[in-house]
Structure 1
Amino acid sequence: MLNAKQNGMMAKGALFAATIIWGSSFFILKNALGDTPISFILALRFFIAFILLSIVFFQSYKHMTVSLFYKGVITGVILALAYIVQTLGLNLTTPGKNAFITASYCVMVPFMFWIVSKVKPNKFNVIAAVFCFAGIGLVSLKGDLSFGKGDALTLASGFLFAMYIVAVARYGRGNSIALFTILQFLTAGIVCAISFFIFEKFPSNMSAKSLISVVYLGIFATGGALLMQNYGQKYTNPSSASIILSFEAVFGITFSIIFYGERIVPQTTMGFILIFVAVIISETKLSFLLRHHTYIPDKTRNIDWLIDNPMTHRGVFDAEAPENSLKAFEKAVEKGYNIELDVQLTADGEIVVFHDTGLKRMCGKRRKISSLSIDNIKTYNLKNTAEKIPTLKEVLELVNGRVGLVIELKTIIKHKALCEKLAEVMQGYEGKFSVHSFSIHAMRWVGRNRPEWIHGIVSMNFGKIGLVGLFGMWLTNIPFFDQIKPDYIFYHCGHLDSTLIRQSKLRGMKVLCWTVKTGEQLAVASVIADNYLCEGSIIEYADKRKKSL
């Protein structure tokens, strides 16, 4: 028997498989339309799915009622109309456009549900609608602002799919989902068959390729994918399931580019992105950005040393003792200050204490730390002094537990290599230390592999520095708190008024801030933050303030 974690992994795999299959169906159906009537294809597709589900869920027929039959027929008619209109649109546009414009139904559902339930759409639904229709405009509008017929039909199918979703939500409750779905497929098959006999002619030269396509659509893209979706959603939270399923449009355009030869221009690409963002906003309400609000830190972990003692930024540095140098660290130790320092990997896998990625500012050379061996690095002096770039091992030997070390991991790509090397270097060190980073990946590694280390996350309000949009919001709100399990947040001293900080403090999270350089910054930080990283002479005022408390 599978445990909960294995069920979760299998469920997500099933959802991805269903999404990939649905994404592939657009170009497969497009190819089949070359020699096969639309309603004929859809009738076969639904009848095949009906037979498949009837075999799998034969026992569900005993739950048949007149009410369920009536509801299944109504919903099946809407489903048939949605597919007919969508396929008519597909016949007149590209598979990629058809996939993305159809996805607009996700945005329409809340507004349609408002009509039948009187539940008003929320702000996320409104924002999603704006994004969605802006995207549709970029994808579909021509130079004269006219709307392509195929795109218009596809948008109409999105409206019908939204009606279908609302009908399922309203009629599906309290009934056998399997039987409800079987009735929908049977009804949709009959409606499509009637449409075929009235409006179309029997294909005289249906190719084997088209027949295989129809069988694939019936077995895999309708019956099979639906089974996988039902299984996947049973063991996956709705937010995660919505995100996975929204990738149907992405796979649709990907398959269309690879197998159908669809060409994408920049305007269309931007439209696709806006539609995809709209679907994500509408389906998840960006809840995946706010997971950390439920995280409560372990208050039994002792981090008093990190809170009570002043922190100095890269040591007590001046003209004779450059930042992140052994001399600057020795001066900090003499004053009893905790030391915040930066570490990164050399080309040969050694950890050195250095902030910048390159040597230009501190050594006057246009070289990258990551491209140099430790022997090369030791040939350079810091800021025209005799001081060299130290290794972390040298710093540990110097400090030897006399003050606490606050280690920031400087990494973008090689986070695992840096973390593994850090674990090796810190093994056996008996002094107090903590580890933090901007890198969510690095801190997730620490949370999973060295949970005993005191560790935190460095962040800021990225919107205030111009990094806007979902990516900036994602970084600002720090996802994966539940996996990282941080002991503290290390936040920009000028951004302490953020919602994240207020909510985190309410949940008992310790807040540290960087980097205090003025009396004004210290005044704000001392009210909101539990401790603050100081640079220059302000450290002495911070020390006096702490001692007076």
Structure 2
Amino acid sequence: MSGRLDTNFLTARPFAHRGWHGDGASENGMAAFRAAIAAGHGIECDVRMSRDGVAYVFHDSDLHRMAGRQGAIADQDAAQLDRARLPDGGAVPRLSDVLALCRGMTPLLVEIKTDGRPVAGVATAVARDLDAWPDAPVAIMAFNPLVLRWFAGHRPRQVRGLVVSQQNKGPMRGWVERTLALWLGRPDFLACDIRDLPSPFAERARRRGMPVLSWTVRSPADQARAARHADQIIHELGHG
């Protein structure tokens, strides 16, 4: 953990998970991101890399569910992905488009997806886009601590978060994984599965001054639990 970086933007307002989607606005689409901004919320989004090294905002590893096409994101070049359409008719956004929409004012969480692939390519693509907004309230986060480690070495002033979940893991496996991930990634904050709270792991982080965000908050009960055991939420409350 680095005590030098400003992490206040992480707890200032809730984050809309994949944007404020529903009611005709697709997850991780520009309409959902505009709706989140209009509601005064921060934005959480997912990022993957095209075959030719462009960072796109998309959760799944393949296009089938959200774009109605066959093929993995990693096998498409930018020209192909620019032609893909989400269910609401909008394009699959580039990360650069979302950063421009936020204009350095809306807090943004960028979850980097790697699926076990080498991290340098997608991390470099994300960092290249972030370099255009050096003072924006943006954090990267990932399940893979090697993503955080890359940013610690190549872009050390970037706020970094470790995404963690204990689901479908035994106590010992979870403890070993989290301990190793903390050492490798040196995160500035944690993003914890709401189902894991209350969590001694998260409580220790909070006692050390590390903010804890909780995902994905979908009900008043989840919200009440997060209010007791986390510092801010990544949510789908009120989504259509």
Fold in common (TM above 0.5):
yes
- Residue 200 of structure 2 corresponds to 499
- Residue 228 of structure 2 corresponds to 527
- Residue 129 of structure 2 corresponds to 425
Instruction: State yes or no: 1:397 paired with 2:100.
Output: yes
Aligned residue among 23, 47, 62 for 1:358: 62
For 1:316 and 1:521, how far apart are their aligned partners in 2?
A: 18
Shift of 1:364: 2.1
For 2:12 and 2:101, how far apart are their aligned partners in 1?
A: 22
TM-score (norm 1): 0.42
Amino acid at match of 1:532: I
Shift of 1:455: 0.9
When Rg is computed on C-alpha atoms for both structures, the one with the higher figure is 1
Amino acid at match of 1:525: A
Instruction: State yes or no: 1:474 paired with 2:179.
Output: no
- Residue 508 of structure 1 corresponds to 209
Whether the aligned pair in 2 keeps the contact of 1:459 and 1:478 (CA below 8 Å) is no
Distance 1:480 1:356, change over 3 A: closer
- Residue 318 of structure 1 corresponds to 22
For 2:129 and 2:183, how far apart are their aligned partners in 1?
A: 27
For 1:333 and 1:523, how far apart are their aligned partners in 2?
A: 24
Aligned positions of 1:121-520 closer than 5 A: 297-383=1-87, 385-411=88-114, 412-429=116-133, 430-461=135-166, 464-465=167-168, 467-468=169-170, 471-475=173-177, 477-520=178-221
Note the residue ranges of structure 1 that are not aligned, 5 or more in a row.
1-296, 539-549
- Could you list the per-position Cα deviations for residues 5-30 of structure 1 after superposition, in whole angstroms to 9, with x for gaps in the alignment? xxxxxxxxxxxxxxxxxxxxxxxxxx
Amino acid at match of 2:125: K
- Could you list the per-position Cα deviations for residues 363-414 of structure 1 after superposition, in whole angstroms to 9, with x for gaps in the alignment? 222321111111112222111x320101111111222113011110011213
Amino acid at match of 1:485: R
SS of residue in 1 equivalent to 2:36: helix
Greater RCO, 1 or 2 (C-alpha within 8 Å, sep 6+):
2
- The alignment of Structure 1 onto Structure 2 pairs a total of residues equal to 238
TM-score (norm 2): 0.92
- Could you list the per-position Cα deviations for residues 474-512 of structure 1 after superposition, in whole angstroms to 9, with x for gaps in the alignment? 32x241534432111100011022221122222222111
Identity across the alignment (%): 27
For 1:299 and 1:426, how far apart are their aligned partners in 2?
A: 21
For 1:493 and 1:398, how far apart are their aligned partners in 2?
A: 29
Whether the aligned pair in 2 keeps the contact of 1:317 and 1:536 (CA below 8 Å) is no
Shift of 1:534: 0.8
SS of residue in 1 equivalent to 2:96: helix
Whether the aligned pair in 2 keeps the contact of 1:401 and 1:432 (CA below 8 Å) is yes
Larger relative strand fraction: 2
Note the residue ranges of structure 2 that are not aligned, 5 or more in a row.
none
- Residue 199 of structure 1 corresponds to none
Whether the aligned pair in 2 keeps the contact of 1:516 and 1:532 (CA below 8 Å) is yes
SS of residue in 2 equivalent to 1:413: coil
Whether the aligned pair in 1 keeps the contact of 2:5 and 2:157 (CA below 8 Å) is no
Distance 1:298 1:376, change over 3 A: closer
For 2:94 and 2:2, how far apart are their aligned partners in 1?
A: 32
Larger relative helix fraction: 1
For 2:185 and 2:152, how far apart are their aligned partners in 1?
A: 4
RMSD over aligned Cα, in angstroms? 1.9
